[in-house]
């Protein structure tokens, strides 16, 4: 084994993430075009989805004061998990999750430690799809990990580990003449990380990608994809503060806020990226108690902060306004929109299902385009969400028609799925 003493810092990791985002900015339209060529009837936009997932991942690196590679990788992973869009976005977010697991607690990392952390990422990505080992992105990630194995074992510099991984990713796994969409995504990610680490990447919206500069026409705005991964609940003892005004002010640093007065106390439930900022403001209003902080990107037992309006609610996803209106007429309480070329993020679905409208939710998509996103939502929310799988808008309508508010979420999901199987 070599005696390489290279150390990878948090600043190196930041550059790698920015480089990957930059490379996807340059390649996402080509990825969309390749998908349309290979799957003309599917109608997905994986390049756009993966770019917006990376946009969510890169944004926390602009504001965090934590320079440790372990802390940064965890923040990036949390943002990617909640910001994930589409099936490929979910797989990429799990790679980040595995990286964070492998780098946990480290201020800096050796090349070998970073290489092993990347292999953790491959394992997490494979766990997302245990029943679909043939998915190209996971296959490509596995091939890349195998290609870099000897470089990691030899304790080579990280640039050589990435070079070995890229060399392995340049060849189609199935022996086809052209890389598949998933393989192209994996290769783009690695090339971007390499360019970022070397500091030689150029992007038409690099400054904008970390929250500064002017928007470049035609490119998705990454600030649209900022996620608020922390669920924070607490109480403020204050007899005079107006709950509506407190809610308005807290909303400046939150994506979801509920403030409820109970006699002399304000009960607060919100989602934020900056819990310290929120608590600092709240401390000026009065004594704070019963603070509870959860990272929503990590599976946990969901605790309701307030009483719910109903036992169970139906959450449906629709890309078309006409379909959304029809589902509302059929009794869907909440509709989450996703455009033709886009899908709601995992975080948007978690926010909807995390509200205090109901104790639990039944979530019905409009087809198979969000399969992995829904699984990720289920992992995060646990028993508070039940998923009904459908293949088309027609099946979605049939499932919605079967919803019965007198039944539990689990009973409704079983009833809906059974009705679809009988059709």
Residue 176 — pLDDT band, cuts 50, 70, 90? low
Is pLDDT of 185 > 50?
Answer: yes
Q: In this predicted model, what pLDDT tens digit does every residue of 114-161 receive, in sequence order?
A: 888 888 888 888 777 655 555 677 778 778 878 888 888 888 888 888
Mean pLDDT value across residues 403-410: 92
Q: In this predicted model, what pLDDT tens digit does every residue of 205-244 receive, in sequence order?
A: 444 444 444 445 567 777 788 889 998 999 999 988 999 9
pLDDT for the residue numbered 202: 62
- Average pLDDT over the chain, rounded to an integer: 84
pLDDT for the residue numbered 50: 93
Q: Which of 67-76, 183-192, 325-334 has the lowest mean pLDDT?
A: 325-334
Residue 99 — pLDDT band, cuts 50, 70, 90? very high
pLDDT for the residue numbered 209: 45
Domain pair 7-213 / 230-295, same fold: no
CATH architecture of 310-422: 3-Layer(aba) Sandwich (3.40)
pLDDT for the residue numbered 212: 44
Q: Which fold is adopted by the domain 230-295? A: Alpha-Beta Plaits (3.30.70)
Residue 1 — pLDDT band, cuts 50, 70, 90? very low
Domain 7-213 has CATH 2.60.40.1930: no
Residue 338 — pLDDT band, cuts 50, 70, 90? low
Is pLDDT of 5 > 80?
Answer: no
Domain map (residue ranges) of the chain: 7-213, 230-295, 310-422
Is pLDDT of 165 > 60?
Answer: yes
pLDDT for the residue numbered 306: 54
pLDDT for the residue numbered 116: 86
Q: What is the 3-state secondary structure (H, E, C) of the chain?
A: CCCCCCEECHHHHHHHHHHHHHHHHHHHHHHHHHHHHHCCCCCCCHHHHHHHHHHHHHHHHHCCCCCCHHHHHHHHHHHHHHHCCHHHHHHHHHHHHHHHHHHCCCCCEEHHHHHHHHHHHHHHHHHHCCCCCCCHHHHHHHHHHHHHHHHHHCCCCHHHHHHHHHHHHCCCCCCCCCCCHHHHHHHHHHHHHHHHHHCCCCCCCHHHHCCCCCCCCCCCCHHHHCCCCEEEEEEEECCCCCHHHHHHHHHHHEEEEEEEEECCEEEEEEEECCHHHHHHHHHCCCCEEEEEEEECCCCCCCCCCCCCCEEEEEEEEECCHHHHHHHHHCCCCEEEECCCCCCCCHHHHHHHHHCCCEEEEEEECCCHHHHHHHHHHHHHHHHHEEECCCCCHHHHHHHHHCCCCCCCHHHHHHHHHHHHHHC
Mean pLDDT value across residues 69-83: 94
pLDDT for the residue numbered 53: 94
């Amino acid at each position: 084994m070599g005696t390489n003493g290279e150390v990878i810092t948090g600043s190196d990791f930041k550059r790698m993430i920015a480089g990957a985002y930059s490379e996807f900015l340059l390649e996402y339209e080509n990825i969309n075009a390749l998908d349309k060529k290979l799957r003309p009837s599917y109608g997905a936009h994986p390049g756009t989805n993966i770019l917006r997932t990376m946009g969510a991942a890169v944004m926390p690196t602009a504001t965090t004061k934590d320079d440790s590679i372990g802390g940064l990788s965890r923040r990036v992973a949390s943002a990617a998990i909640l910001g994930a869009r589409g099936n490929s976005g979910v797989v990429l977010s799990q790679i980040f999750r595995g990286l964070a697991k492998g780098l946990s607690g480290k201020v800096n990392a050796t090349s070998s430690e970073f290489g092993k952390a990347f292999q953790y990422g491959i394992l997490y990505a494979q766990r997302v799809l245990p029943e679909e080992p043939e998915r190209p992105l996971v296959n490509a990630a596995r091939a890349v990990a195998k290609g870099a194995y000897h470089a990691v074992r030899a304790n080579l510099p990280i640039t050589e580990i990435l070079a070995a991984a890229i060399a392995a990713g340049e060849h189609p796994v199935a022996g086809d003449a052209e890389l598949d969409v998933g393989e192209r995504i994996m290769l783009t990610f690695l090339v971007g990380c390499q360019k970022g680490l070397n500091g030689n990447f150029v992007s038409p919206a690099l400054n904008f990608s970390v929250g500064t500069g002017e928007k470049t026409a035609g490119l998705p705005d990454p600030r649209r994809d900022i996620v608020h991964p922390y669920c924070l609940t607490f109480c403020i003892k204050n007899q005079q503060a107006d709950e509506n005004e407190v809610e308005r002010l807290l909303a400046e640093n939150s994506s979801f806020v509920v403030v409820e007065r109970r006699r002399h106390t304000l009960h607060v439930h919100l989602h934020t990226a900056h819990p310290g900022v929120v608590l600092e403001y709240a401390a000026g209003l009065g004594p704070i108690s019963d603070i509870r902080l959860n990272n929503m990107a990590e599976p946990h037992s969901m605790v309701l902060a307030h009483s719910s309006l109903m036992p169970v609610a139906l959450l449906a996803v629709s890309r078309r306004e006409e379909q959304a209106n029809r589902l509302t007429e059929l009794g869907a309480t909440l509709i989450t929109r996703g455009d033709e070329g886009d899908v709601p993020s995992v975080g948007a679905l978690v926010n909807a299902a995390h509200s205090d409208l109901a104790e639990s939710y039944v979530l019905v998509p409009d087809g198979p385009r969000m399969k992995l996103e829904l699984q990720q939502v289920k992992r995060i929310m646990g028993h508070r969400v039940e998923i009904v799988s459908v293949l088309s808008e027609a099946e979605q309508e049939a499932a919605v028609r079967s919803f019965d508010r007198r039944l539990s979420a689990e009973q409704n999901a079983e009833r809906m799925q059974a009705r679809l199987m009988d059709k």
